[in-house]
Amino acid sequence: MAWIKKTFDKIYLEAFNFLNKRSRKEVNEIIKLLKIKKSHLILDLCCGWGRHVCSFYKKSYNIRGIDISNEFISYAKKTCKPKLFSIKDVKKLNYKNEFDIILNLETSFGYYGDNTNKIILRKIYAALRKDGKFLLDLINPSYVANNFKKRLIIYEKEKLKIIDLNELNKQKDVIKTKRLIYLKGKSYTKEIILRLYNKQELKIILKNIGFEKIRFFGKLNGDKYNSKSPRLIVLAEK
Ligand SMILES: C[S@@+](CC[C@H](N)C(=O)[O-])C[C@H]1O[C@@H](n2cnc3c(N)ncnc32)[C@H](O)[C@@H]1O
């Protein structure tokens, strides 16, 4: 997907670094929800610029992060412990029974076609140790359907404004977004194409792969999932 490398670059990082403020709270919630221990080996798949990895590291957890973006990974290496990060394509994961916990946070799944998305989930299953846990943090398709806005202001403060122009294909469950970033007097356009998976679909796919216990939440803090939750949090156990 050509848009991925073009979208996740230095401009995206500068525009979205407001997310850093949330990372510590999110990490505390994840530790509690998944009952993560210091002895566990954690992998953050599609870790971006390492905001969660670094937060786990500062709390002395054993974590690694991989991402396809050179620019994100080089920033992560400069701002946190370099050894924790590597540039890797999630489609080419080849770990076997290595991790106790695998995280995929902030809508980092659904970027490919159905077959490739399923292959990625199979690779995640293979990379987990027995009893390992996989956390998937996605947009809730029911929320998108009920609150769909063609034009959505994502962020607006001082010299930064982010606006999404959305197109929803209901037959294919795909949302195409033209993301306009106005940053320090310049404007940039980013593209995002996302396959939205609902709770039922994910349950079937994950069960077929072999995951045993599959639970859904509306927030990382463990709040119940319902069709009105903006997020769809999936916790699947091997
Ligand atoms: C929305 S960002 C989320 C980043 C991070 N999880 C966070 O919470 O800040 C999605 C990330 O997925 C990464 N990504 C997309 N396709 C990937 C692939 N095939 N392999 C590895 N990373 C990928 C992007 O580079 C980007 O960092």
Q: Is 163 in the pocket of ligand 1 (CB under 6 A)?
A: no
The string of pLDDT tens digits covering residues 23-44 is 999 999 999 999 999 999 999 9
Is pLDDT above 90 for 234? Answer: yes
The string of pLDDT tens digits covering residues 64-116 is 999 999 999 999 999 999 999 999 999 999 999 999 999 999 999 999 999 99
Which burial class, exposed, middle or buried, applies to 63 when counting CB atoms under 10 A from its CB (0-12, 13-18, 19+)? buried
Q: Is 108 in the pocket of ligand 1 (CB under 6 A)?
A: yes
CA–CA distance, 107 with 124 (Å, rounded to integer) = 16
In the reported structure, the alpha carbon of residue 108 is separated from the centroid of ligand 1 by a whole-number distance in angstroms of 5
In the reported structure, the alpha carbon of residue 137 is separated from the centroid of ligand 1 by a whole-number distance in angstroms of 12
Place of tokens 């063609």: 150
CA–CA distance, 179 with 142 (Å, rounded to integer) = 21
Look at the pTM and tell me if it is higher than 0.75: yes
The DSSP-derived string for 119-179 is: HHHHHHHHHEEEEEEEEEEEE-HHHHHHT--SEEEEEEETTEEEEEEEEEETTTTEEEEEE
